Amino acid sequence: MDISLKRMVLGPVGTNCFIFCNEETKEAVVFDPGDMGERVFSYIKDQGMELKSVILTHGHFDHITGVPELLRLSRDEGWKPLLYASEDEKELLNDAILNCSGTGMSFGEVGVTLEADHWLKDNEVLETGGLKITCIKTPGHTEGSMSYYIPDKQMLICGDTVFEGSVGRTDLPTGSDSALQRSIDERIAVLPEFTYILPGHGDETTVREEKMYNPWFRV
């Protein structure tokens, strides 16, 4: 199945938004439209695609601010996309102070709150847009942070859990150093070494490279 991947860097802090386009079904799956929902919508439409799903790694403002506009434009187009997020991220997504969209950290739309169409469970397998995605609970950056493993593509979309040579901060609401370390030890470092890691900010890396250079990878 021919599935292309587009990375858009969006918003004031350079958030990676990943767009998977299925050339056979003409369905698009978007991870973390952190800003500029109109730009994401226009790209999908220009590719002759229809938005099938929006999937969130976590609920911070720089990963969710583009969601309302993207969903509104898509539904105005007659599409019926569904929004997915971890069941453990409900509180953060429903509170603009906790997700920092209602604080001075947000440079875009102020006070964003979201309700998922489907709340994902740990180890749930989500099939959408021709992708089979394993949902992996990886708390630490936030309590409800979730990573998404696509075995057929050898890819992991991990949000702000892991960056190239580093990790996401844990000093914002619901963050935890100890939980982040456990997530890396037990959920990410155990994946195949040549798994591509697609982080929420910065360049892609692999599990193998992080084991070599990232001090948070201890195995």
The pTM assigned to this predicted structure is 0.96
Report the pLDDT averaged over residues 146-153. Answer: 97
Residues 39-48: tens digit of each pLDDT = 999 999 999 9
Q: Where do the domains of the chain lie?
A: 3-213
Residues 89-113: tens digit of each pLDDT = 999 999 999 999 988 665 555 789 9
Q: What is the pLDDT of residue 162?
A: 98
Report the pLDDT averaged over residues 111-138. Answer: 97
Q: What is the pLDDT of residue 75?
A: 97
Superfamily of domain 3-213: Ribonuclease Z/Hydroxyacylglutathione hydrolase-like (3.60.15.10)
CA distance 183 to 92: 19
Instruction: Return the minimum-mean-pLDDT range out of 104-113, 146-155, 168-177, 189-198.
Output: 104-113
In the structure, what pLDDT confidence band is assigned to residue 8 with cuts at 50, 70 and 90? very high
CA distance 128 to 30: 11
Q: What is the pLDDT of residue 33?
A: 98
